[in-house]
Structure 1
Amino acid sequence: MSAVPQDAAAETATARARGSLLGHWNSVVTSYYVLIGASALLLVIGLVMVLSSSSVESLDKNGNAYAVFLDQAKFALVGLPIAIVLSRLPVRFFKRIAWPALGAAVAFQSLVFLGLGTGAGGNTNWVRLPGGITAQPSETIKLALALWLGAVLARKQPYLEQWKHVFVPAVPVAGLAIGAVLLGHDLGTALVLCVLVAGAMFVAGVPLRMFAVAGALAGAAVAALVLLSPNRMQRIGSWLGGDECSASADCYQTLHGSWGLASGGIGGLGLGQSREKWSYLPAAHNDFIFAILGEELGLVGTLIVLGLFGLLAFAMIRVISRHPDPFVKVATGAVLAWIVGQAFVNIAVVIGLAPVIGVPLPLVSAGGSALIMTLAALGVVIAFARDEPGAADALAARAGAVRRSLAVVGLGRGPARADRSRTAASSTTSRGGGRA
């Protein structure tokens, strides 16, 4: 008869021990604070590394060593308020805008083919807007597609064992968005979008046998796109070691990226001391910024960046596991696959595990559209974290930061001072003190 109470007591003790071991990592607001902290640190590291890696070429081309950095700082100042606003919005807002957001993003991408397109590195995937502003519409498709897949797959979740419900309308509409990017010859962004779609479908619960079929079809499509492009075939050949790596060879960039990482050693050469940024490594402040980071900050710096992306992944997985809304789960899974998957691809390219395909390191590489949309996506996931069970109440119960700061310096009536005042008043009353 005493076995049941003993088992319950043992389970309670185990849960209490696990909670004490995890400490604040088991809090209802852990996801919220980890997302904010890791994102902020990656953004700061990115701004510092953009300044360091771009200063030489900026001085040479513009006569101003801070030109690229100031542009990146400007984009950060645009993206941060967007992220803050999005982080305060309710989940129902994102459900309502999912369809119109994807339509607007695809329409924006279509401007590339309507006379406003401009190219770089063999891609025509930017638009030049009035006022000399250049934007990359494909970055807006990433966030819009994540929200749209969340809305569609969450509604169809009970029927995802059936092929027709998995593929209609998710696959045709996602294929249309990815096709619009491919028409601009941007295979790197298209691959990231494929990873995003796969992440959303995995979290939604699509059977693995369907992933096998979709993976085979996607692999065949990518192979065809590579075979039909001499430029891509040359990159693959260079990656496999078919070139002498002269200054004009496609493996030149990967070779110098590896040299930069190798010369950094454990602690790095020191911030600002990179040799590769002196016009040896192309795109040093963009696609290959991880090589400069490793050269200047060493293995320690690269592991810190990898750890921060790991914390982002941890926080988003926690949102997926704790939030009851299927829309939140699927959309967060898509954003997780996008940001962490893109970081993995970028780093794989830099260290030579993948051919050069031209995707930036999220929050770290220079690039206005990418930075703004990544911050916006993180703002959306932070809003989801705020909506976790118990998180909203815990955040609402916090004392304001300003109030706490004023209380510390003695200019405000913080909770501790109020308690002391009440205690003193109670003590005076109990002694019968005071004037009659």
Structure 2
Amino acid sequence: MPAASSAARPDRKAQPDRKAQPARPTLRGAWLGQWNSAVTSYYVLLGATVLLLVLGLVMVLSSSSIDSLADGKSAYSVFLNQAKFALMGLPFMIVAMHLRPAVYKRIAWPALIFAICLQLLIFTPMARGEKGNTSWVYLGGGITIQPSELAKVALAVWLGVVLARKLPLLHDWKHALVPAVVPGSLAVITLVLAGKDLGTALILIMLVAGALFVAGVPLRVFGVLAAGTGVVVALLASTANRKGRILELFSSADPAGAGYQVKRGLEGLGTGGLTGVGLGAGSEKWSYLPEAHNDFIFSVIGEELGLLGTLLVLGLFALLGVGMVRVIRRHPDPMVKITTGALACWIIGQALINIGVVIGVIPVIGVPLPLISAGGSALVATMLALGILISFARDEPGAREALAARPSVVRKSIAVVGSATWRRRAHTHGPSGNNEHG
């Protein structure tokens, strides 16, 4: 036995040392490698944007067809109008995707001035109002726009440029707020409030807060701004209509009263269950739920696509948020970081407010679900903002070179088709090109 044992030892020693072999990459390591890629932010933002846009068009068609027929119009009228604005916003988004941050720095001031001038048109005969708000401007030819939506984009870029230039001085509250940041932001917000659009004004305030936070403004400044904002909002919300919406959150009033819309929205969400009643088969859109294709489209998603559909929407917005946070963490330019923070608070914050309204935890303030609710100006402005964010992701360190080194989809398709054709010809013909079977 000892002899056999000693004879076996040289064989074990002769085996190669496993520790000396290079470790094979694990599946987890491969995923982490892909996630830490320089182009991850680009693909996350682009993919989530496209999926939300497509889902929005499908749900606008489903939620608006019944009301359109009831009004004597085509069942596709609202959908075609939304698709038209999506096609209008696509060139703006593509151009914005390919601009460098230096271009946005040059156009920041002209863009803000243009947005303010456009917002001033609500005081002219071109202004159009709806449900107590004067937020739209008629440009002729059947085109009506909401200037405050474009003002969001301009204000975010402008804040990024101004705060980035004053970055070394932002520890002092006087430099953080004046002479430009507060007057410029107040000019836009005040003009929006002049049109009685409290919902959009709140989104603008969130946008400004996001820019100041990413810029590193001292937190005590946020306390002062929050107190001032609270006072202004309380004064503006003192009207009978807005006060009724707030009180509805804490009371069991008449279901046909101010809380009717929220109650119908909750019923739609509760009806859907896990998988929903089926796309197009919902009943709330049959003139039971007001603004089914606009502010309360999330309720239609919950009814027709169920819990899984609502989780899909939340997941896509979460991906957008993750992509924006990656840009803030990875991009070296302070202007890019600050502008991204402002746009993130607008888009993600507005989505959370809209969903909060539908589930009954926030009073109805009339803000759409980005990329999904019907609304031309909101859709074009959001696509433009996301184009800017995608351009920032393309400008991350190493991203532009990585994207340039990767073959395009068209080149890949041509290569695949060409390879398949060559193999087919090689199978049919001999090396000299003559038919082997002839």
Work out the percentage of aligned pairs sharing the same amino acid.
Answer: 60
- SS of the equivalent of 1:409 reads helix
Q: What runs of 5+ residues in structure 1 fail to find an aligned partner? A: 1-12, 417-436
Match runs of 1:374-413 below 5 Å: 374-410=382-418
Aligned residue number for residue 194 of structure 2 = 183
- Aligned partner of 1:146 in structure 2 is 156
1:23 CA displacement: 3.1
1:342 equivalent in structure 2 = 350
User: Which position in structure 2 is the counterpart of 1:76?
Assistant: 86
**Residue 173 of structure 1 pairs with residue 181 of structure 2:** no
Q: CA deviation at 1:306?
A: 0.1
AA of the residue aligned to 1:287: D
Q: Kindly state the Cα deviation for residue 162 of structure 1 after the two structures are TM-superposed.
A: 0.6
Q: Indicate yes or no: 2:342 matched with 1:331.
A: no
Structure 1 residues 284-309: Cα deviation after superposition (integer angstroms, max 9, x where no partner): 00000000000000000000000000
Determine the C-alpha separation between the residues in 2 that align with 1:21 and 1:363: 29
Q: Distance in 2 between matches of 1:238 and 1:353?
A: 10
1:81, CA displacement in angstroms?
1.4
Listed as ranges, the matches of 1:62-73 within 5 Å are 62-73=72-83
Partner of 2:101: 91
- Identify the match of residue 234 of structure 1 among 235, 244, 264: 244
Which residue of the partner structure matches residue 195 of structure 1? 206
Query: Equivalents in 2 of 1:32, 1:309: separation in Å?
Result: 15
Q: Helix, strand or coil: the match of 2:159?
A: helix
CA deviations on 1:24-68 (whole Å, 9 max, x unpaired) are 111100000011100000000000000000000011113310000
2:13 aligns to what?
A: none
CA deviation string 1:342-373 (max 9, x = no partner): 00000000000001000000000000000000
1:365-380 equivalent positions in 2, closer than 5 A: 365-380=373-388
Moved more, 369-378 or 229-238: 229-238
Provide structure 2 residue ranges, at least 5 long, that are not aligned to the other structure. Answer: 1-22, 424-438
1:322 aligns with 2:333: no
Partner of 1:425 in structure 2? none
1:205 to 216, 222, 237: 216
> Within 1, Cα distance between the matches of 2:139 and 2:107?
24
Instruction: Give the 3-state SS of the residue equivalent to 1:62 in structure 2.
Output: coil
Conserved? CA contact 2:173–2:217, under 8 Å: no
Contact map agreement 2:127 2:138 (CA 8 A) in 1: yes
Task: Give the count of matched residue pairs.
Answer: 400
1:304 to 302, 306, 312: 312
Aligned residues: CA RMSD? 1.9
Distance in 2 between residues matched to 1:188 and 1:379, nearest whole Å? 24
Whole-Å Cα distance in 2 between the matches of residues 117 and 16 of structure 1? 61
1:56 to 66, 91, 94: 66
User: Following TM superposition, by how much is the alpha carbon of 1:21 offset from its aligned partner in structure 2, in angstroms?
Assistant: 4.7
342-351 vs 157-166, greater mean Cα deviation = 157-166
Q: CA deviation at 1:213?
A: 1.2
Counterpart in 2 of 1:244?
Answer: 254
Q: Aligned pair 1:293/2:301, yes or no?
A: yes
- Helix, strand or coil: the match of 1:388? coil
Listed one character per residue, the Cα deviations across residues 226-272 of structure 1 (whole Å, up to 9, x for unaligned) are 12x222112212232262121xx210000000000000011000000
- Hey, what's the Cα distance between the residues in 2 that align with 1:62 and 1:42? 29
Deviating 4+ runs (over 3 angstroms): 15-21, 411-414
User: What TM-score do you get using the length of structure 2 for normalisation?
Assistant: 0.89
Match of 2:71, SS state, is: helix
> By how many angstroms is 1:412 displaced?
9.5
Contact 2:38 2:402 in 1 (8 A): yes
Query: What letter matches 1:272 in structure 2?
Result: G
**CA 1:99–1:302 in 2, change beyond 3 Å: closer, same or farther?**
same
Structure 1 pair 110–412 and aligned structure 2 pair: CA distance change class (3 A)? farther
Q: What is the Cα deviation at residue 330 of structure 1?
A: 0.2
The normalised TM-score by structure 1 is 0.89
Pair 204,252 (structure 1): closer, same or farther in 2 beyond 3 Å:
same
Tell me which of 252, 258, 280 is aligned to 1:272: 280
> Of the two, which has the highest radius of gyration?
2
* 1:222 alignment partner, one of 233, 239, 243: 233
Match of 2:138 in 1: 128
Q: Which amino acid aligns with 1:369?
A: S
Matched with 2:170 is 160
Relative to structure 2, which stretch is displaced further, 55-64 or 41-50?
A: 55-64
